[in-house]
Each structure stands twice: as C-alpha cells, then as structure tokens.
Structure 1
Amino acid sequence: METPADAAHRLDTALLARWDAHPGLPAIVDGEHVVLAGEVRDRAVRTAALLRQHGLRPGDRVAVLLERSADFVIAVAAVVLAGGAHVAIDTANPRDRVHFLLEDSTPRLVLTSDALRPALPDGLGARVLTVEECAEAPDPDGFAPADALADRPAVVIYTSGSTGRPKGSLLSHRGVTARLRSLQGSHPIDADDRVLHHTACTFDMFLVEVYWPLLHGAAVVIAAPGRHRDPEHLARLIRDQRVTTVWWVVSLLELFLLALGPGERVDGLRQVLTGGEALSPELVRRFHSRSRATLSNLYGPSECTMYCTAWVCPRDPDPETVLIGSAIEDTTLRILDERGRPVPQGEPGELYIGGVGVSLGYHDRPELTAERFVPDPVDASAGTLYRSGDLVREVAPGRLEYLGRVDRQVKIRGFRIEPGEIEGAALGVPGVRQAAVVADGTGHETRLVCFLVLDGTPDGPAPDGDTRRGAERVRTALADRLPAHMVPAAVVALERFPLTPNGKLDHAELTASAAEALPTAAGPAPVTAAPGAAVPASAPAAPGTGAAAGQADLAAVVAEVWAAVLGVRAVGPDDDFFALGGDSFRAVRAVRELEERTGLQVPMHLVFEASEVTEYADAVAALTR
C-alpha cells in the first residue's frame, strides 16, 4: 500500500498502520466478546470497501445508527477508512430527532442493523446497509486509502441550535489526529491500558474513547447499551475489565462518586479525564479521597474538536480554584472584549479559539458558519478563530479560569443546550402561542423550565384544568421530539409573559420563578402516599431480611420514597420517576433510601428499565423470589 503524502494528518492511515503492526492485540471488549486488532481491521476494511462500492466518495457523510457495541466502533472506523465522515446517531433519540438528523445531514449511505432498520423513515434518499450485510460481503481484492483526506471531514457532530435547528460541526482528519496526538503526549496509553467507552455518540468526547485507544494499542471496553449513566454497571465494568482510563462528564463523575459505598475506592484507575461542565474544588477533593488516579480537567467546544485546554488537578493540597488550564499544542487562544480587543491579564473576556482543531464549519449552514468562525482580529494571517461564547480570564500567563457564558446557552450533563431549540419545538405544538425556556440551579442540579402562553378561549384565558392539561400535553410532545437531556423538568402555562420596561421578554423574572415551578428536595415533613396505597410502617426491616418495612405494600413504599426524593406531595401507581423530575442523581438517592427502608439490595439500573411505580415495585419484588 502506497503511503499518502498527507498520512501524518489522517485518521484512516494511522488506524491501518497500527492494526497491521499489532494484529494480535485485543482491540475491543464487548461483554464476553474480545475482538482482536486484526479482526477489527478486516471487518472495517470489508465494510469500507462495500461503502465505496455503493457510491461513497471522499468527504461524503454516512449516518451510523447502531447501539453502543463492537459493531458500532467498527462501523465508524469503516466510514473513516472509506474516506467518508460519520454522523453517529444515538439510538435513544426520539423518532423525530433521528429523522431530522438523517434528513439534515444528507448522508450518501446509512449504516444500521437489521433490528433498527425498520425505524428508518420512508423516502430517505440514501442507500441503507446493515452490519449483517457487511459481515456477508466478500473480502476486497485490495484496499487503498483515498487521496488527500487530511483537510476533509472525518466526523460530523450535531450540537443544539439557538434558532431551533441543530447544527452539524465538521471535524477534519487533521483536527482529530492533532487532538489525539496532543492527548497521547500528555496522558500516554499503551497495550497495558483499557479505556472505557460509555459516552453517547452525540458528544464528541466519544471520539477519545474510541479512536485514542485504537491508535495506541489499548483496548476499548464497551459499556452496555442504556447503561452509560448506571454508576453500578460502570463501576463493575471498571473493576472486572481492569479499566485504567476513563473520561467522565463532570456530572457523571459526581454521580459515580455518589454511588460508591462507604470507604469504597477505585484505585484500579490510572487516569481520569473530565470536563463538559464546570468542575468544583469540592468534587476534586472527593475524587482524590477515593482514588490515586490523576484527574485532568479538559475544556473545549465541539467546534474545536474534543478539547483545546487541559489542566491536571493538583493534590496535597487540593486546589481552591479549578482551572481549565493552558492551550494544548497547535492551538491559539484569544481573550477579547466586546469590540474584539485583547483584555488585560486577570480581566474577563470571551474566549476565541484557533489552530488546527477548529472545525471546518457547520454542514450546509454558511451564514451561521460566518457568524461563529471569524478572522483573527489580532493577527489576520493566523487563520480562523471560533467564537466560543465562554467567559474566561487569565489568572496567570497561559492559565485560564472558566467564568460562565456570554449568552443563554446552558449545559445539562455536559450537553450544550440552546433554549431557543426547545422553544422552537414547543411552538411547533398546536395551541402554543409563546414559549420561553430558562434554567434553574447549577452543576448537576441544573434543570430546565419551559414557560408557555397557550391559546385562550374566545372569552379569555383557558380554565386552570385546561391549562394544566395543555402544559402536560406540551411536555409529552417535547419528550417525543427532543433528546432526554433537552426535555424540561417542568412545563408551566402562564396567562401572559412578564416584560421589561422596554417591552422585551423579562428572562430574569422567569428565571426567578423557575425554582418555584420545580419540585424541591423534600425535608423532614411527612409525605402523602398515593391514594389507596397501604401506608408503610415506620420501622425499617432488619438489614438483609429482604422484607418490606412492616410487610407493607412495596409499591406504597416506593411511592413514598419517590415522593420524598422528588419533593412532590403524592406519587400514583402509574407515575413515572423521570416524568416527575427525576434524574440519575435523584435515582441514586431513591435507591439508597429504598434499601435503607426495606433491607433489600436494589440494582441502580432498575429505575431506568422500569420507571413507573408499579412496574418498578414488581421488578424489586422479583429480586426476592
């Protein structure tokens, strides 16, 4: 195989070189199945050849709709080998979201499975291949890398859009390889390492979990589909598969530590990377108290390919302030004021990011690309800068502290969310006249509230009952259309929106009202159980007996625990934990409380699989049979 002139800056040639050099190394661990590097190469090349046979050209997009698995890893690698750019679509997304991504990305082909193929829309306009078809394809007679790929897209990552339409950021081969080269230089891994792959494919850090180990001989250990936010599953996987390296979004790191038992440690880990949200000094201290692993805070928007700054959190003593660190190699950072002028050291300003990692722009969005990707005002010859919208300050030469956002964008579980996208979805529901979305809380406690003005009756506002039903209808519609992290925890209908003296929507007043609209953590006051449910006895069962408190109805115990944890007055037998405002953190609290009340050992994942009171109680009861 002739080596392309731009091979040093390409993901495809780097992968083939690694697999050819070490075909016998374990490359992927998926449950009980271990896939060697040589098998990954053969399957990826076979799939890449088939993609080309069906018309894939360099730079074409290929949508990949697969569960997290060895098949998924091989599929995205195959797209890169073929010269295309993969658009990985989370199978957990609502149907409407999947259809939008398939339409907006205009893929040449779609890679999926026989099981998921029926979920594809009619009239897709793209050739569909399944992994089963690829497995049956003959080996190609020969396979040569495509020409001149370094500055073509290898990956498309969709992020939330302020206009209500998500946008696809085009990440180049050159940018991806530069970022992984920098990461390997600062956090080296080799054949003795194992890297956990659990991050949703809608978040660009999944590229670190997949391509970084594949390029350096470490094994990719795959978390089971649907279990990526189950801390018990992840802890067991880390322990049983001897995982040494993990990336956690900050909220998931918090959840993982929260779920650990008293005195439980995770010293098998060697290095932990985190980011995606603000990292607090208190969380750093708690992590250091549970593990000897290094903890590194990485920062960077998807438009700059995974990350652009890094900071290893010191210990002994732990930091009083957590920084996002310094620019990594091949990266330019500018801190500018509203007029595009550099600010003095120590003063806050908006962060502009340049260098090889900067995205090629947004797919089919030239106006938005021109707005966010701008010439360097300090050095016009330096190339394009990305306007991050993040406020930072330089606390010491080259060392940055993150201060917040300059716009309305928020982050939930590391995902960037533009409230305008949710507002647009709400306005698409019949009967909604106005919509405004605000965030309440910080860190993992951040929750979204959607305020509405609904169409009234000819004689005035709708009755209260109709208003409540209308709000519930809108929340159901949003859950059908948006990813889970974008569905508001509460939807509230108002008669009219508050306005500023200038006649503009008063976001500050809505934000101040958001806390009242959300369930709050319950205090020691008694909580009413569901109507008709047996009231649990106050005395808990002896630990390990497996009997519900005082032999009371287990469903009533569950209802009472959920009501207390979620801060609601009553929970009915058909109520859903997550529809009531539950999340992974409250799930941990609910499980711990239920265990204390009943003496049972309750797996964390049950609430994700059976989220209504009665079905959850049945699943818990089944553990004792």
Structure 2
Amino acid sequence: METPADAAHRLDTALLARWDAHPDVPAIVDGDDTLLAGEVRDRAVRTAALLREHGVRPGDRVAVLLERSADFVVAVAAVVLAGGAHVAIDTANPRDRVRFLLQDSAPRLVLTSTALLAELPGGADTPVLTVEECAKAPDPDGFAPADALADHPAVVIYTSGSTGRPKGSLLSHRGVTARLRSLQGSHPIGEDDRVLHHTACTFDMFLVEVYWPLLHGAAVVVAAPGRHRDPDHLAALIRDRGVTTVWWVVSLLELFLLALGPGERVDGLRQVLTGGEALSPELVRRFHSRSRATLSNLYGPSECTMYCTAWVCPRDPDPETVLIGSAIEETTLRVLDPRGLPVPPGEAGELYIGGVGVSLGYHDRPELTAERFVPDPVDPSAGPLYRSGDLVREVAPGQFAYLGRVDRQVKVRGFRIEPGEIEGAALGVPGVRQAAVVADGTGHETRLVCFVVLDGGAAPTSPAGGDEGGGDEARWGAERVRAALAERLPAHMVPAAMVPLERFPLTPNGKLDHAELTARAAAALPAAATPAAPAGPPSPEAGATGPETGAPAAPAGPPSPEAGATGPETGAPAAGPAAGPDLAVVVAEVWASVLGVPEVGPADDFFALGGDSFRAVRAVRELEERTGLQVPMHLVFEASEVAEYAEAVAALTR
C-alpha cells in the first residue's frame, strides 16, 4: 500500500499503518472477546470496501447506529477508512431524535445491526447496511486509501442548538489526528495500557477512548451497553480488565467516588482525564485520597475537536483553585471583550479558540457557521477563531481559569444544552402556549426545570397569591408535556420538573423574567432529606443532594441508558435477614427519605419521583445499613418500582 503524502494528518492511514506494523497486539476487549489489531484491520477494511461499493465517497456522511461494542468500534473506523465521516447515533435516543439526525445529516448510508433495524424511524429512504452483511462480505482484492483526506471531515458531532435545531460540527482528519498526537505527547500510552470506552457516542470525547488506543497500541476495553453510568460495572472493568487510563466527565467521576466502599482504592489506574464540567478543588482532593493516578482537567468545545487546553492537577498539596490550563499544541487562545477586542491580562473575557483543531463549521448551516467562526482580530491572516461563549481569565501567563457562560447555555453531565431547544420542543406539544427552561444547581447537581403556560391557563392562582398553577388538571397537563419531551429529546435534555403557570413573570420592560423563574426553580425540585453517609470515610459527596442529570426517565417505565440505566451485575450478596412484605415498607421509607417526598407507595417509580444515579447510590447505601443486605447497584435500574424492587432484593437472599 502506497502511503499518501499527507498521511501524518489522516486518521485512516495512521490506523492502517499501526495495524499493519503490530497485527498481533490486543486491540479491543469486549466482554469475554478480545480482537487483535490484525483482526480489527481485516474487519474494518472489509466493511470499508463494502461501504465504497454502496457509494460512500470522500465527504459523504455515514450514520452509525450500534450499541457500544467491538462492532461499533470497527464500524466507525471503517467509515473513516472508506473516506467518509461517521455520524454516531446513540441507540438510547428517542425515535424522533433519530429521525431528525438522519434527515439533517443526510447520510449516504446507515450502518446498523439486524437487531436494531426496528429502531430506524419509518419513512427513511436512506440505504441500510448491517454489520452481519459486512461480516459475510468477501475480503477485498486490494484496498487503497482515498486521496487528499486531511481536510475532509472524519466525524460529525451533533450538539444542542439555541434555535431548537441541533447542529452537526464537522471535525477534520487533520484536527482529530493533531489532538490525539498532542494527547499522546502529554499522556503517553502503549501496549501495556488499556483504555476504558464508556462515553456515549453523542459526546466527542468518545473519540479519545476509541482512536487514541487504536493508534498507539493500547487496548480498548468496552463497557457493556447501558452500563456506562453504573459505577459498580466500571469499577469491575477497571479491576478485572486491568484498565490503566480513563476519561470521565466530572459528574461521573463524582458518582464513581461516591460508590466506592470503605477504604476502597483504585490504584490500578495510571491516569485519569476529566472535564466537560467545572472541576472543584474538593473533588480533586477526594480523588487523590483514593488513587495514586494523575488527574488531568481537559477543556474544549466539540467545535474545537475534543479539547484545546489541559492542566494536570497537582497534589501534596492539592490545589485551592482548579484551572483549565494552557493551550495545547497548534492551538491559539484569545480572550476578547464584547466588541471583539483583546482584554488586558488578568481581566475576564470570552474565550475564542483557533488553530488546527477548529472544526470545518456546521453541516449545512452556513449562517450559523459564519456567526460562530470569526476572523482573528489579532492576526486576520490566520485561520478562523471559534467563539466559545465561555468566560475565562488568564490567572498566570498562559494559564486560564473558567468563570462561566456569557449566554443561557448550560451543561448536564458534560452535555451542552441550549434551553431554547427544549423550549422549542415543548411549544410543539399541543396545548402549550409558552415554555421557558432554566437550570438549578451547578456541576453534577445541575437540573433543568421547564415552566409552561397551557391553553386556558394553568389553574386557579395559588393561595399564596403567586401565579403557579395548583390544580390537579394543570399538574397532569405539565406531566403530559414532560412525557412528550421524553419521546422527542435525549434523556439528558428532559427536564427534571415541569411547572405549570397561569402566566409568566415579566421584567418592568415587558421581557420574560428569567431571574424570577430561576429563583422559583429550586422550589419545584424534590429536596431530599439529609441522607445517610455512604460506606467509606466521611466525605462531602455523602451529603450531596443534586443529581448528575437534569433528565430522569420518563414517568412510565425504567430510565433509558442516557439517564443512567444499567444492566445486571453478577456476584453473590452477603447473607442478610429474611426479606418479605416488610422489605417493601423499608424500601419505601428509604426512597422517601432520599428523594425528599412525604410518602412513597408500592407502585411508585424511583426515577419518576426524581431519582437519578447519585440518589440511587445513596438509597442503596441506606438500605444496606438498615437491612444488613449487600444490594447490587444495578437493581434499581431494572426494577424501579417499590414492590418489584423489594422483590428483586428479596430474591437475592433465597
């Protein structure tokens, strides 16, 4: 195979060169199956050849709808080998969301599995290829990389849109390879390393978990589908599969530490990368107390390809302030004022990002691309700068601290969310006249609250003289809207609470009073009683009351994987007292305490009452303390109603 002249800036040729040079190195560990690099190469090349036979050409998009698995890793690699750009679609997405992504990205083809064909929305006329067909295809008679791919898109990542329409950011081969080269320079991995792949494919950091180890000889260890937020499962993988390197969004790092047992450590890890949300000094301290691994804070929007700054958190002593760090290789940072001019050193301003990692813009959105990707006022001859919308301050030469947002955008579990997109979806529900979404809390405690004005008003004015609807009909109407949103939006975008109002509060100049709604948001959310301390040394996470997501599952049924759904965990529980009808009473009491509700009945659902992964951990710990049982963390995700959960716990003792 002749190596293209621009191979150093291409993901496809870099992968092929690595696999050809080291075919016998373990590349993917998926459950009990291990694929060697040569096997991954052969499967990816076979699939890439078949994609080309189906018309995929450089610049084309290919939608990949697969569960997290070795098949998924092979599929996304095959798309870039074919010369296309993959649009990975989370299988947990509602069907309406899948339909939108397929329509907006206009893929040449959908790559999925036979089992998931039924998940494709009706009416789609995009050709479909299954991994089963790819497995049966003959080996191609020679395979040559496409020409001049360095500045073509390799990946399309969709993020929330303020206009109600998600937007697809086009990440180039040159940008992806440059970012991975920089990461390898600062945090090297090799054949002795194993990297955990658990991040949802809707978040661009899954590219780090897949391509970084494939390019440098480390093995990708795949977390089971639906279990990427199950701390027990992740801990077992780290321990049993020898994982050395992990990327965690900050809220999942918090959840992982919260679930550790008394004195439990994770010293098998060598390095942990985190980001996506503000990282607190207290969380750094707690991590350092449980592991000898280095902890690095990475920052960067999807439009700048994974990350653009990095900071290794110091220890002994732990930091009093956590920074986002300094610019990585081939990256330019500008801190500008509202007029687009540089601010004096040490003053706050909006961060503009330039360099090789800046994306090619948004797919089929030229106006928005022109708005967000602007000329560099310092060096107009340089490439464009991306307006991040993030406020920062240069606290030392080249070192930056994150201060917040300049707009309404919020983050939940590291996912960027534009409230306008949720508001637009709510206004599309029959009977909704007005909708406004605000966020309550910070970090992993961030939750979304949606206020709505329904046709005919919400209900009679509350006795307190406010304008919050107090009638059962209004509350039922609000929950109907929430259920509709759960069918249309990813789980992390579904509000934790819906509040019907007779009218919206206005400022003196007649505009919607967002500050007033924000002040009301906390009262709309369940406030848990002080929980029992989790097992292990006392730490601040024991008293945390906020969830890791603003999106518990829809009122009916168990939560989706995005909301923290997990699969079964193995292992025999410790012996405990006999379980029976009284256990359901104890479960109800524990849930009421943890969720902050006055009463919980046998048919009540943990997640419909406002539960989430963080509160599930606390509920399990309190139940264990009261019963003496050892309760697997996953059970509440499989049996989320009181009676069925009590029965599942009781079955463990038989």
| Identical amino acids, percent of aligned pairs | 88
Within 2, Cα distance between the matches of 1:567 and 1:222? 36
Using a 3 Å threshold, how does the CA distance of structure 1 residues 381 and 239 change in structure 2: closer, same or farther?
A: same
Within 1, Cα distance between the matches of 2:338 and 2:531? 49
Contact 2:48 2:82 in 1 (8 A): yes
Contact 2:459 2:470 in 1 (8 A): no
In the TM superposition, what whole-angstrom CA distance separates every residue of 1:177-223 from its partner, at most 9, and x where no partner exists? 00000000000000000000000000000000000000000000000
Which 10-residue stretch deviates more, 567-576 or 236-245? 567-576
**By how many angstroms is 1:577 displaced?**
1.5
1:607 to 636, 646, 649: 636
**By how many angstroms is 1:349 displaced?**
0.3
Q: Indicate the RMSD between aligned Cα atoms, in angstroms.
A: 1.6
Contact 2:459 2:473 in 1 (8 A): no
Residue identity matched to 2:160: S
Indicate the SS of the match to 1:57: coil
1:499 to 491, 501, 506: 506
2:587 to 543, 555, 558: 558
In the TM superposition, what whole-angstrom CA distance separates every residue of 1:150-178 from its partner, at most 9, and x where no partner exists? 00000000001111111100000000000
Contact 1:548 1:598 in 2 (8 A): no
**By how many angstroms is 1:125 displaced?**
2.3
Within 2, Cα distance between the matches of 1:101 and 1:616? 36
Residue identity matched to 1:572: G
Residue identity matched to 1:434: Q
Contact 1:548 1:599 in 2 (8 A): no
Within 2, Cα distance between the matches of 1:507 and 1:586? 28
Cross-structure match for 1:267: 267
1:577 to 606, 625, 631: 606
**By how many angstroms is 1:123 displaced?**
2.9
Residue identity matched to 1:510: L
Cross-structure match for 2:547: none
In the TM superposition, what whole-angstrom CA distance separates every residue of 1:543-578 from its partner, at most 9, and x where no partner exists? 9552268x6522222221111111111222222222
Within 1, Cα distance between the matches of 2:470 and 2:338? 46
Within 2, Cα distance between the matches of 1:597 and 1:390? 45
Cross-structure match for 2:485: 478
Using a 3 Å threshold, how does the CA distance of structure 1 residues 251 and 523 change in structure 2: closer, same or farther?
A: closer
Contact 1:84 1:154 in 2 (8 A): yes
- Are 2:553 and 1:546 aligned? no
- Are 2:604 and 1:597 aligned? no
**By how many angstroms is 1:479 displaced?**
1.1
Residue identity matched to 1:281: P
Which 10-residue stretch deviates more, 85-94 or 564-573? 564-573
**By how many angstroms is 1:104 displaced?**
1.0
Using a 3 Å threshold, how does the CA distance of structure 1 residues 189 and 573 change in structure 2: closer, same or farther?
A: same
In the TM superposition, what whole-angstrom CA distance separates every residue of 1:356-383 from its partner, at most 9, and x where no partner exists? 1001011111111111111111110111
Within 1, Cα distance between the matches of 2:491 and 2:457? 32
In the TM superposition, what whole-angstrom CA distance separates every residue of 1:428-463 from its partner, at most 9, and x where no partner exists? 110000000000011111111000000017998888
Within 1, Cα distance between the matches of 2:205 and 2:641? 32
Cross-structure match for 1:249: 249
Within 1, Cα distance between the matches of 2:503 and 2:596? 27
Within 2, Cα distance between the matches of 1:406 and 1:515? 22
Cross-structure match for 2:201: 201
Within 1, Cα distance between the matches of 2:18 and 2:108? 28
Using a 3 Å threshold, how does the CA distance of structure 1 residues 251 and 457 change in structure 2: closer, same or farther?
A: closer
Cross-structure match for 1:522: 529
Residue identity matched to 1:483: P
Cross-structure match for 2:649: 620
Contact 1:489 1:579 in 2 (8 A): no
Contact 2:409 2:417 in 1 (8 A): yes
Using a 3 Å threshold, how does the CA distance of structure 1 residues 459 and 290 change in structure 2: closer, same or farther?
A: closer
Cross-structure match for 1:532: none
**By how many angstroms is 1:392 displaced?**
0.2
**By how many angstroms is 1:588 displaced?**
0.6
Indicate the SS of the match to 1:382: coil
**By how many angstroms is 1:108 displaced?**
0.3
Indicate the SS of the match to 1:387: strand
Within 2, Cα distance between the matches of 1:195 and 1:502? 54
Within 1, Cα distance between the matches of 2:649 and 2:460? 48
Contact 1:489 1:580 in 2 (8 A): no
Residue identity matched to 1:603: P
Count of residues in Structure 1 that have an aligned counterpart in Structure 2: 607
Residue identity matched to 2:647: D
Residue identity matched to 1:590: A
Cross-structure match for 1:43: 43
Using a 3 Å threshold, how does the CA distance of structure 1 residues 398 and 465 change in structure 2: closer, same or farther?
A: same
Within 2, Cα distance between the matches of 1:3 and 1:66? 31
Residue identity matched to 1:607: V
Indicate the SS of the match to 1:586: helix
Select the structure with the greater relative contact order (CA < 8 A; seq sep ≥ 6). Answer: 2
Within 2, Cα distance between the matches of 1:441 and 1:434? 23
Within 2, Cα distance between the matches of 1:546 and 1:480? 40
Within 2, Cα distance between the matches of 1:580 and 1:481? 20
Contact 1:548 1:597 in 2 (8 A): no
Cross-structure match for 2:436: 436
- Are 2:349 and 1:319 aligned? no
Within 2, Cα distance between the matches of 1:158 and 1:101? 8
Cross-structure match for 2:411: 411
Indicate the SS of the match to 1:575: coil
Within 2, Cα distance between the matches of 1:291 and 1:143? 45
**By how many angstroms is 1:466 displaced?**
1.2
**By how many angstroms is 1:393 displaced?**
0.2
The 5-angstrom pairing of residues 26-37 of structure 1 reads 26-37=26-37
Residue identity matched to 2:86: H
Within 2, Cα distance between the matches of 1:502 and 1:224? 53
Within 2, Cα distance between the matches of 1:458 and 1:431? 11
Residue identity matched to 1:92: A
Using a 3 Å threshold, how does the CA distance of structure 1 residues 458 and 126 change in structure 2: closer, same or farther?
A: closer
Indicate the SS of the match to 1:47: helix
Which 10-residue stretch deviates more, 608-617 or 273-282? 608-617
Indicate the SS of the match to 1:17: helix
Residue identity matched to 2:501: L
Cross-structure match for 1:529: none
Residue identity matched to 2:445: E
Cross-structure match for 2:128: 128
Contact 1:69 1:225 in 2 (8 A): yes
Which 10-residue stretch deviates more, 130-139 or 572-581? 572-581
Within 1, Cα distance between the matches of 2:457 and 2:375? 52
Unaligned runs of 5+ in 2: 462-468, 533-572
Contact 2:531 2:618 in 1 (8 A): no
Cross-structure match for 2:182: 182
Cross-structure match for 2:466: none
Residue identity matched to 1:291: S
The 5-angstrom pairing of residues 38-437 of structure 1 reads 38-437=38-437
Indicate the SS of the match to 2:481: helix
Contact 1:172 1:359 in 2 (8 A): yes
Using a 3 Å threshold, how does the CA distance of structure 1 residues 50 and 454 change in structure 2: closer, same or farther?
A: same
Which 10-residue stretch deviates more, 198-207 or 598-607? 598-607
**By how many angstroms is 1:320 displaced?**
0.4
